[in-house]
Structure 1
Amino acid sequence: MGVVNVTPDSFSDGGHWFDTATAIERGLDLVHAGADLVDVGGESTRPGASRVDADEELRRVVPVVRALAAEGVLVSVDTMRATVAEQAVAAGAVLVNDVSGGLADPDMIPVVADAGAPFVVMHWRGFSHDMNSRAVYDDVVAEVSSELRSRVEAAVSGGIARERLVIDPGLGFAKHPAHDLCLMAGMDALHALGRPVLIAASRKRFIGHVLRDHEGTPPPARERDAATAALSAIVALRGAWAVRVHEVRATADAVRVARAVEPACPVSENVPLVPGRLPGHL
């Protein structure tokens, strides 16, 4: 899953693809580099980010989704708003990726259910402006898994078919670097939920934390792509359904190598993995 942030303020590439034409070109470039899905978002969810209004998010997102879908690209829409999800699906998006797991907008689950679209349920404890204060856990793997299970059941109760759900542990969202690393080490607990797992680790703070220099300074976000590719290969071998990344080529190559090794390293039998296929789709 390649990322197109149609925003001026995303943490690693804000402003690079803010123009509609540039964002469309970027999406096509990601496909040529090996992306199976292109995730288009119009609202930054970095720590401390302020929300944009719905009209502005629609203005940013819908034209890009429509143009990419017209080119045959499989597009997902990254949004917490039901109105944006609804209009993006109407414009050709095939998957809704909600970092709040349906908590930010009570209309999201009914809208996705009516659309019959696959839905990414991410672990989330609150909006970006104060989410770091919510990073308090006794057992991060057990608590994230339990909270994700609750969101999965809420989505199913709201009419979304279970087979159309994907889960995401929400790396960096109300989590400190040590929490993110524990979640990556504890992926078996995520697989036990019985749904495909999306890992969105690209360029995030915990990677920078691992790569700190002798003075304790992390590299800039755009210098974390090699480490992102390495982590992508690891989680591919551990059964991830997809990885969400800013730069696709190195990660696509890393995952191809991991998939070649996979027959010698089988993943959990609980995970309904079909590489390259959307949940609930033939």
Structure 2
Amino acid sequence: METMIGVIGGSGVYEIDGLEDATWTEVASPFGAPSDAILVGRLDGVKMAFLPRHGRGHVHTPSSVPYRANIDALKRLGVTDVISVSACGSFREEMAPGDFVIVDQFIDRTIAREKSFFGPGLVGHVSVAHPTCPRLGAACLEAAHASDITVHDGGTYLAMEGPQFSSLAESIMYRDTWGCDVIGMTNMPEAKLAREAELCYASVAMITDYDSWHPDHGEVDIAEIIATLSGNAGKAKSLVSKLPGLLGSERAPCPHGCDRALEFAILTAPDKRDPAMVERLSAVAGRVL
């Protein structure tokens, strides 16, 4: 199989540099329109696709991002590996603004989003016990080191609904009681949907602030976030530029089974499956349907 890296760019990352034969491509999805057209090209001989999560010009809120359409569109393009790049706040003194975290766990506190491709007429259950791909996360970690980025290997990401930032009480609870490391608004249900679509998924969280728990920093300051975002965007592009060389153009089956997540996931009997649902999931679950 040929590798195709899909990069979902978060706040501050609305484009990717250096793609050869780059073309903004419109992809139709039965789940609606994706956040934007997808920039498709090659980098160092490896196929790549870039999708700005909030759209160019930042038009989508965390809650209005069409997560299902985005993942479905990437799958339809032939993407095999998804790198999520997103801004986040930190609950740890040692995880400072400007640092990156390779997230490996999530707590999902979002409440206003469609979180599955499956539904009545086609029921499926996948495991997200380990919601990110260790192989892909390790490549992101190596790319960060090669880009001289201060990076932390592993961390729990609290996904909040937003668009408001945390109250002080929430921030303290997420940090001290729940043991979270970073907080953001966009990696859920993205990671769950990627698993349902049998795509390897890695999350690169770019720290912009200390949320509101830190006694010396007070509440989140938007001006400071924007300033940090500018620096993080350049680091993120450098990290992404290293990935083709690390992942290569030829892709073996995922050793962790991300690309076989639906093997035993669909419970609806073949003769009871809704034909419209089967057609709707033709890209996401076509391998097993």
TM-score normalised by L of structure 2: 0.34
Q: Which has the higher strand share?
A: 2
- The structure having more radius of gyration, on CA atoms, is 2
TM-score normalised by L of structure 1: 0.34
